[in-house]
Chains A and B, each alone.
Chain A
Amino acid sequence: MSFAALFLISVVAGFIGAMAGMGGGVVLVPVLTFFGLPIKEVIAISIVSVIATSSGAASAYVRDHITNLKVGMFLEMFTMSGAIIGAMITVVTRQRYLYIMFGLVLLISWIVMWFNHGEFVPETIPDRFSRWLELHGSYYDQAAGKTIEYSARRAYLGGPMMFGAGLIAGLLGIGAGALKVLVMDLVMGLPAKVSTTTSNLIIGVTGLAGASVYLAAGLIHPELATPIIIGIVAGAFLGTRILVRLHNRTIHQFFLFILAILAIEMLYKGIRGL
């Protein structure tokens, strides 16, 4: 595949990913495998590009003081371990199972995103473990025009669940940001802004853990790196800029619809036994 084609596909993948509120990897992996690239090499380069998109986004959020570094550090212990094990599984797994797992994860996270409109309930009493972990903080909400205080709860549940999110990230070469946000929102009761921004921070370390396993396995193909990494960052940047201005549910759902098609494509490939 030519440099220009890889670049364009990556821009579109980053763009759609951002518009649907997910990372670029979720779109990149199905599209590149559709064009015949080997799934393991695509997963490997995708997880490297995940480091770029998540770190780029995280840098802005951290400087805005919304990200909670302690929540990030605590959860990174779990996602990172999961990612290493996930990537090790991918290295030895047959391709068709990777297609099926990718399709299933896409489909499940899609369903969850479609139905999840949960609102943050601030008055939760943190358990002793979460208090011991000092998982509390505050941030200035520009839309509400006031400082929001929060504290996490059920960290004993959130941690192990993050291991699962990390496992999926390492296994499939995606950030699995939607899953991470879900755990932080629903299980740990963090405000949506804090969980979204903190998830970006965590994804960087998760991505690195997975990428080092793929590097060791010789699956990182530098030829693919330049067009894909630059393309996906550019696409995600554009998507985020446009998303801020649009805020249109219909458009968001249209992009979720595209993700559903990708999920079905991956499942079909896996079941047919390619």
Chain B
Amino acid sequence: MASHPSSHPAPAASAGLNMDLLVGWILLAGVLLSLTLLLCGALWHRFATGTLTDNFRLAGTNLLAFVIAEVHNLFHGALRPRILISSGIAVLMITPYIRVLASMLYFLFEERNLKYTVFTLFVLSVLTYSLMLH
């Protein structure tokens, strides 16, 4: 795809195009951050223990409790490679959620489209519910 030099802004780019860009960057940033965390976690574990295999299990939990537990561990000096791996999974799962949240704000404030604000709100509510399951 041709690049768009910043010195030459697209004339009257519509809000829809900006939304495409925002969604694109949210997804890309989320996936790259998640992969980086997972990779760093694995490498750290490798240097700390000499093996890549870390046998730990997430007991039935939801993402919220999971993140709180990780942050708790972090502030109590229990900084271990697995926090990076757990965070990598959490970031990956949060990525589509943030994308839907951004879409909802866009439909609500930019496009003022009630229909699609309600649709996105529904998706967001059910996703929030599913993240609270335990």
Contacts and interface: CB of A to CB of B under 8 A. Distances in A.
A94 to B, nearest CB: 19
Nearest to B119: A73
A48 B92 contact: yes
Interface string A77-106: 100110010000000000000000000000
A84 B66 CA distance: 19
Contacts of B16: 69
Given A69-B19, A213-B130, A226-B39, A233 B31 contact: yes
Contacts of B34: 52, 229
A56 B58 contact: no
Contacts of B134: 216
Contacts, number: 170
Nearest to A72: B103
B56 A222 contact: yes
A16 interface: no
A70 interface: yes
B115 to A, nearest CB: 8
A70 B20 contact: no
Interface of A: 2-4, 48, 51-52, 55-56, 58-60, 62-65, 67, 69-70, 73-74, 76-77, 80-81, 84, 132-134, 201, 204-205, 207-209, 211-213, 215-218, 220-223, 225-227, 229-230, 233
